[in-house]
Amino acid sequence: SQTIHQWPATLVQPVGSPLSLECTVEGTSNPNLYWYRQAAGRGLQLLFYSVGIGQISSEVPQNLSASRPQDRQFILSSKKLLLSDSGFYLCAWSGGRVGTGELFFGEGSRLTVL
């Protein structure tokens, strides 16, 4: 069966520090991968998606970046965090079948920028 993991689960970072969140998927190949962010009490905002190794599409301009160095690995990064980067970051994957409407989410990484 397919599983998705992301880490770290929680982190507290000072403003201006770098960020790296990692996500891996097991049990499937060539998944579509996504990074979402959820501010407290709000909906999910799509940040990046990837349909293959090295292929990254950005949905929202920001100081974050994403990379996909391997088929089942997706990384979210920042060189210098802002206070507004605080939130709940969720990695997700889909089988790539258009029109299924189903994403599988990881456990999430809760980031607090101080």
Spatial distance between the Cα atoms of 41 and 23, rounded to a whole number of angstroms? 23
Cis peptide before 8 (omega within 30 of 0): yes
Residue 40 is a binding residue for another protein (CB under 8 A): no
Residue 67 is a binding residue for another protein (CB under 8 A): no
Residue 34 is a binding residue for another protein (CB under 8 A): yes
| Per-residue contact string for residues 77-106; x = within reach of another protein by CB under 8 A | -------------x---x-xxxxxxxxxxx
Q: 40-77 as b/e, with b when 16 or more CB fall inside 10 Å?
A: eeeebeebbbbeeeeebeeeeeeebebbbeeebebbbe
- Cβ 20 to another protein shortest distance, Å: 20
Q: Would strands 10-13 and 109-113 be described as parallel, antiparallel, or unpaired?
A: parallel
DSSP 15: T
Residue 43 is a binding residue for another protein (CB under 8 A): yes
Residue from 13, 28, 45, 62 binding another protein (CB under 8 A): 45
**Binding residues for another protein, per CB under 8 A?**
32, 34, 36, 42-46, 49, 51, 57, 59, 90, 94, 96-108
